[in-house]
């Protein structure tokens, strides 16, 4: 029998990966291809997108927004897969709970840096703020005392918010 923390992390990894992959797909998609508009959570300070009837032409390119949102989506999916794979390997390597937590913190810190870099590429200040806030939220997970709990409570909600808010 495996130590409970390893089994728990494996379960969290599987749940997180499943939730993220489901949240990042286009409605009705069965190919696993991420939705072009998928990304992270919107902070309360980011104003909602204008309604189509009142929207004036944006000086920012929609293509840039789509590219940034897709890049963040790909980063989140890739890191989620890495975390799930690391969870499986943790059992074989017989890691302690603290070693597992440190690996997870490192993965999240790296993801936050990558997402923050994508925020810098955004031409639209609203998208830049949204993606930067996402990086800050992921960074908070890298500093969490119990990163596996943070993953289950917070990380799994990020793709849904991005899908909703990261769009031209």
Q: Does pTM top 0.85 for this prediction?
A: no
Confidence band (pLDDT; 50, 70, 90) for 142? Answer: very high
SS3 84: helix
Distance, CA of 96 to CA of 61 (rounded, Å) = 48
Q: By the 8 A CB rule, do 134 and 17 touch?
A: no
* Residues 54-72 as b or e (16 or more Cβ within 10 Å = b): eeeeeebeeeebbbbbbbb
Q: Where are the alpha helices (DSSP H) in 94-166?
A: 97-121, 125-142, 147-153, 158-165
Task: Report pLDDT digits (tens) over 78-101.
Answer: 999 999 998 888 778 888 889 989
pLDDT for 58: 57
Res 55 pLDDT > 60: no
Distance, CA of 10 to CA of 92 (rounded, Å) = 12
Distance, CA of 41 to CA of 29 (rounded, Å) = 22
Confidence band (pLDDT; 50, 70, 90) for 34? Answer: very low
């Amino acid at each position: 029998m495996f130590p409970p923390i390893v089994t728990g992390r494996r379960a969290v990894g599987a749940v997180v990966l499943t939730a993220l992959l489901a949240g990042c797909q286009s409605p009705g998609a069965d190919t696993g291809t991420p939705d072009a508009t998928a990304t992270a959570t919107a902070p309360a300070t980011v104003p909602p997108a204008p309604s189509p009837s009142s929207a004036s032409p944006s000086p920012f390119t929609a293509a840039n927004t789509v590219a940034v949102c897709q890049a963040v989506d790909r980063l989140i999916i890739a890191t989620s897969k890495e975390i799930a794979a690391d969870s499986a390997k943790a059992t074989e390597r017989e890691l302690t709970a603290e070693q597992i937590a440190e690996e997870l913190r490192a993965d999240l810190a790296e993801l936050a840096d990558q997402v923050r870099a994508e925020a810098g590429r955004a031409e639209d200040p609203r998208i830049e703020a949204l993606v930067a806030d996402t990086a800050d939220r992921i960074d908070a997970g890298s500093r969490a005392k119990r990163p596996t709990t943070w993953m289950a409570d917070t990380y799994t909600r990020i793709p849904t918010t991005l899908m909703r808010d990261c769009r031209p």
